[in-house]
Structure 1
Amino acid sequence: MAERHVLGLSGGKDSAALAVWMRDHHPELDIEYFFTDTGEELPEVYEFLGRLEGYIGKPIARLNPRRDFKFWLREYNHFLPSAQTRWCTRKLKLAPFEQWVRPMLAAGDTVTSYVAIRADEDYREGYSAKAENLFVKLPFREAGVDKAAVVDILESSGVGYPKYYEWRSRSGCTFCFFQQKIEWVRLRERHPEAFEAAKDLEKDALEHGSPFTWSQGESLVEMERPERVAEIEAEYEIRRVRLRKSIPINPLRPAKACPEDVDDVYGDDEGNGACAICHK
């Protein structure tokens, strides 16, 4: 029997900051890092994971589900996942993790999983362990590390941010249903092939009677009309200017939190029910 320590990475800033923090504060722990790959990730995510591997000095294990998104879409009668029915999280994120740790637990090993829930996220809960020898720890909450501290960790380490923060506020699949409409517009601009793939999946789902579109109340076909794109961009710009004016100036912290302050401008995923395992 052995002690195992694991830390899951989503491709987002919080879990990356936790990996950096654990390496710097607990070098005595032999942590195994993993990333659950849905096969539908942004290319910027893979680039960021490579950069992070360079800092922590360890490879990040890629956990691939046995079956891809399209397989599970058929299993769920071609109904798209949604905030109400998050089968993608269960089948493409949680299940591969549970399959990965199962042999460790069966061997009697003690497995501690470190989750990047911050001290300022009282509303979030970590993964509920289903085995007596699997334990979940929240180092940021225990150490009082908040959002501003996460920014400091990434900046001071030189790891920085994933490049998708230039236009999007969350990691996860290219077609994540938690995206704001402006993020769908930006996806179409930066990764048109991914947008077209999402549009094809949505068309297939609607033809099979799915009650959901990727973005609530509007299909991607409707959203990509030039007049609608202009409308979405205008609404975003109004929101951006309003939010900029509402942010108090801190003379002790003149640098902006992260590129474009995306958490605020694009639509913060914190507190809106977004899946912690995908977006942290």
Structure 2
Amino acid sequence: MDIKEKHVLGLSGGRDSAALAVYMRQNFPEFEIDYFFTDTGKELPEVYEFLGRLEGFLGKPIRQLNPDRDFDFWLKQYNSFLPSPQARWCTRQLKLRPFEQWIRPLLESGIKVYSYVAIRSDEEYREGYTSRHKNLKVRLPFKEAGIDKAGVLEILEGSGLGLPDYYSWRTRSGCTFCFFQQKIEWVRLMEQHPEAFEEAKAYEKNAVEHGSPFTWSQGESLEELTRPERIEQIKEEHTRRIERMRIKQQVNPLRPDGEPLDIDDLYGQAKVCLACHK
């Protein structure tokens, strides 16, 4: 039987895309959806564990779109310059490129591909994959259904999945050394996964030696960030932000004794890449 259309949903290992996968499974069982994850090889171990749990719920494997060339290959192609908010070559080469290589033959053969993206009703449509082909249709089910952050949490709790374990210390998926991390997230990476932090330091040192204008964390190197007095300063500032937010906002009934779920709530929303962080 000829296939006329295909449904795909990209997973980042994060909260929103996982909730969308659950939502589509529960509300649109008639759609045969291909769930996929593009592995950069630099993900948190908690991401893989969460994706395994999600596979169990969905009852089908999550397709792995591994890039044919890894982060180290592309780093050399970009003259050892680190990716940054101004030059997001990592998203382009390690996330979007494998997706395009996968679906391009389908689109060119006349198959209409529906791609489901986890933009909530309380969010603007931030930067992500924009359809450039007439047969690729981007759908935003949460926008259409009016599902916000609270709704996403309800979906995950109701399914029994809950949140990825890394939400106890960091609230975005993506590479261990993602440049969109806040200072406190770098400190926590150092504490939770010191080997990944040391790898990030090594990449940064090599990049600086090759003339890269960027460090992972804006305004200071990881070497500078890990000075004991600087760590204490970062933690104190983070605590003050939490205290100020608790005064301004009502208590979250899901986590009455914890800090807000989103780092972005504390530091302002970054224009992060949808392919990595949703």
SS at match of 2:260: helix
Deviations 1:217-257 (A, max 9, x none): 100011111111111111111111221222124xxx73238
The residue number in structure 1 matching 2:104 is 102
1:143 corresponding residue in structure 2? 145
- How big is the shift at 1:261? 2.2
Does the 8 Å contact 1:8/1:115 carry over to 2? yes
In 2, the alpha carbon distance for the partners of 1:259 and 1:110 equals 45
Which residue in 1 is equivalent to 2:130?
128
Distance 2:111 2:45 in 1: 35
Q: Which residue of 2 aligns with 1:255?
A: 254
Distance of 1:235 and 1:111 partners within structure 2: 46
Q: Is the 8 A contact 1:168 1:266 kept in 2?
A: no
Q: Structure 2 vs 1, CA of residues 123 and 99 (structure 1 numbering), >3 Å: closer, same or farther?
A: closer
The answer to whether the 8 Å contact 2:189/2:197 transfers is yes
- Given candidates 59, 77, 80, the residue that maps to 1:75 is 77
- 1:47 CA displacement: 0.2
C-alpha displacement of 1:267: 4.3
Give, in angstroms, the shift of residue 80 of structure 1.
Answer: 0.6
Q: Deviation of residue 265 (structure 1)?
A: 7.3
What per-residue deviation string (whole Å, max 9, x for no partner) do you get for residues 28-66 of structure 1?
Answer: 100000001000000000000000011111100111111
Relative to the length of structure 1, the TM-score reads 0.94
Is 1:185 aligned with 2:184? no
Deviation at 1:8, TM superposition (A): 0.2
Q: Distance in 2 between matches of 1:267 and 1:257?
A: 16
Output one character per residue of 1:164-194: Cα deviation in whole Å (capped at 9) or x when no partner.
1000010000000000111101101110000
Structure 1 residue 112: Cα displacement: 0.5
Q: Is the Cα–Cα contact under 8 Å of residues 242 and 259 in structure 2 kept in the other structure?
A: no
CA pair 265-66 structure 1, distance change in 2 beyond 3 A: closer
Please state whether the residue corresponding to 2:261 is helix, strand or coil.
helix
Contact 1:169 1:266 in 2 (8 A): no
* Distance 1:147-1:11 versus aligned 2 partners, 3 A rule: same
Output aligned runs, 1:239-254, within 5 Å.
Answer: 239-249=241-251, 254=253
Distance in 1 between residues matched to 2:96 and 2:214, nearest whole Å: 22
| 1:278 corresponds to | 276
Q: Which residue of 2 aligns with 1:10?
A: 12
Classify the secondary structure of the residue corresponding to 2:180.
Answer: coil
- Which residue in the other structure is 1:157 paired with? 159
1:116 aligns with 2:147: no
Structure 2 unaligned regions, length at least 5: none
Pair 1:259–1:170, CA change in 2 (3 A): farther
Q: State the partner residue of 1:22.
A: 24
**Count of residues paired in the alignment:** 276
Aligned residue number for residue 60 of structure 1: 62
Amino acid at match of 2:19: A
Question: Which ranges of 4 or more aligned residues in structure 1 deviate by more than 6 Å?
Answer: none
Q: Would the alpha carbon gap of residues 212 and 137 (structure 1) be closer, same or farther in structure 2, given more than 3 Å must change? A: same
Shift of 1:125: 5.3
TM-score computed with the length of structure 2 as normaliser = 0.95
* Contact 2:127–2:271 (Cα < 8 Å) also in 1: no
- Cα–Cα, structure 1 residues 258 and 90, in superposed 2: closer, same or farther, change >3 Å? farther
Residues 126, 136 of structure 1: 8 Å contact kept: no
Q: How far apart, CA to CA, are the structure 2 residues paired with 1:200 and 1:258? A: 37
Q: Distance in 2 between matches of 1:147 and 1:104?
A: 33
Question: 1:136 and 1:265, CA in 2 relative to 1: closer, same or farther beyond 3 A?
Answer: closer
Distance 1:247 1:158 in 2: 27
Please tell me whether the aligned partners of residues 176 and 196 of structure 2 are also in contact (alpha carbons under 8 angstroms).
Answer: yes
3-state SS in 1 of match to 2:262: helix
